[in-house]
Each structure stands twice: as C-alpha cells, then as structure tokens.
Amino acid sequence: MAFANTDGGRLVFGIDDKTRKIVGVDKDEVFKIMDSIANAVSDTCRPKIIPDIAFETIEDKTVVTVDIAAGFNRPYMLKSGGLDKGVYVRVGATSRPADLEQIREMMLDGSNHSWDEQICRDYTLTDRAVKRLCSDINKYRAEKDGKKAPKATKESLIGWGVLKQDGAEILPTNAFALLADNPFRQAKIQCAVFKGTDKVFFLDRKEYEGSLHNLLEDAYQYVLRNIRMGAIIEGLIRQDKFELPPAAIREMICNAICHRSYMDEGMIQVSVFDDRLEVSFMPGIDVERRVKRTVEAAE
C-alpha cells in the first residue's frame, strides 16, 4: 500500500531479512502463497490494489515477487486504519505513516487535480495584480525564432488555468497568488551563510518573500554575493569566475521552487557553507514523482 502511494516497488518473498540471502519458499506451496498474498492485499487495502505476483527460480531456489505500481487513486489505505491512521508512504527503505499534508496532496492527485489550480479563497483579485503579472511574464519570455513571443494577457492567464472564470466572475487560483503577491507564509525562502561545514555558527541570514520569480532572483543573487570568485587568465584576457557555476545555482533554486509542495508548512532553505551549497526541501516531499509528473504534463 505504501508503494502504491509513492513510486511503486517490489516485495520478494524467500529472502532472509537480516542476511539478505536467498532461502526460497516451499516449491509445493508457491501457488498457495501467491493466492494468499493476493487475498491479503485485496482484504486489507482500499481502494483496490492489483499487484503483479509471480515466482522466479534463483540459485535453484524459488522466490515469489510482488510488483506494485504507483497508484492513480491515491491515497491507498489499510481498511482497519482508515484515512486517519491507515495511510502509509515509502521513505527510503521504510514505510511511514503519511502526515495530513501528504494525505491532502494525495487526495488532490488521486482526483487528477493539484493544489496550484484550486481557487484561492482568501485572495482578493485586482486588475493591478493581473497587469503586473502579465508584465512580468512578458519580461521573462524569450524570443522564439527571432520573433517576440505573444504578449500575456488576462485571457492568456485564463487559458493557462492561472485564473478561472465562473460565469461573469474571474477567480484567482493558488498559482496566481504565488506568481503575483504570494501571501503564503510557507512560500518564502530562507538563506544563510554558515561558518565552516555545518550549521553550528551562521555569519549571515536573510528571509525573502514575494512572487516566485522574485524569490528565485533574490535567492540566486544572495548566493552569488556570498561565494568566492576567482580569475582565469587566458593569454592577455582575464575572466572572472565564480567557484560554483551560476547556471547550476539558478537551476537548483528553480527546481526547489517548482517542485516543492506548497501544502507543506516549511520553507525552502538555501545554505552556503565553506565547501558546498545546499538547497533543502522539507521532509516528505517526493521530488522524483513531482519531476516525473511535470515532464509528463509537458509532453
């Protein structure tokens, strides 16, 4: 069930848990074991999970494999625990109870919706905010084939789902609020410079708020101000060079902003150490799944 709630996975029966050696199962009981596994999954989990159960022969021993794909009807739960206590997710090699934010996100995901496209009820939409966002989008959009990209308008935002039309009323989504004034407390970025290679002593700290594109630029410039710059001499030409590639820095921060869950209460943290740069996500964020969904949507 935890596999179905995340990225899928495989269970193998016939492997010793401690030594990881192949011990096998009774060959005469293979089909009975397979039926028992199928019945156990069906009897204890909901919505229904259909695992792919098979057996293999390895080193003259028989093992039973159970492959569970990532589910489309999340959250999956134990019938005995229900939604409150029966939802589990995979974290590394362990299964852990899902927290409230994870369950809420899975419910949206299972209904083929996302938090971004939900109506932001506490946000007051103004023409000024719409014009400012359109202006920002037009500023950042690159030229294509030597031609200027079509200008973003209020109608464009509606077409993209950033704004939603309900009869004669235009409503802001959470995505619009994030891109415009960003009123969400958790949608900030905390930046800090630490002395040495751990978080014991910090030399500087800054918290940024505002639209997502401004957050990206602010955090990016903060890192550039706080890392070392050297110089490379090629012939008679001197080229200044940061100790970390600026493009990689921007990409790290951009990925954090785009792929984090804004249903989680924590903030993104950008930490500069003597020997590295860290961009931290809050616990429980499934980055690989979020990236995969983004790629699939783009295709």
Rounded to 5°, the CA angle 226-228-234 comes to 145
pLDDT tens string 220-271? 999 999 998 877 777 767 777 888 999 999 999 999 998 888 877 788 999 9
Q: Is-contact 13 25, C-beta < 8 A?
A: yes
Residues of the chain with CATH 3.30.950.30: 2-113
Q: Which CATH class name applies to 2-113?
A: alpha beta
Q: What pLDDT does 13 receive?
A: 94
Give the CA radius of gyration of the chain.
25
pLDDT tens per residue, range 162-174: 999 988 899 999 9
Q: What is the pLDDT of residues 76-135, one digit of tens each?
A: 899 998 888 899 988 888 898 988 878 877 887 766 677 888 889 888 999 999 999 999
* pLDDT confidence of residue 147: 67
Q: Is the dihedral of CA 198, 199, 200, 202 positive or negative?
A: positive
Query: Which letter does DSSP use for residue 75 in this model?
Result: P
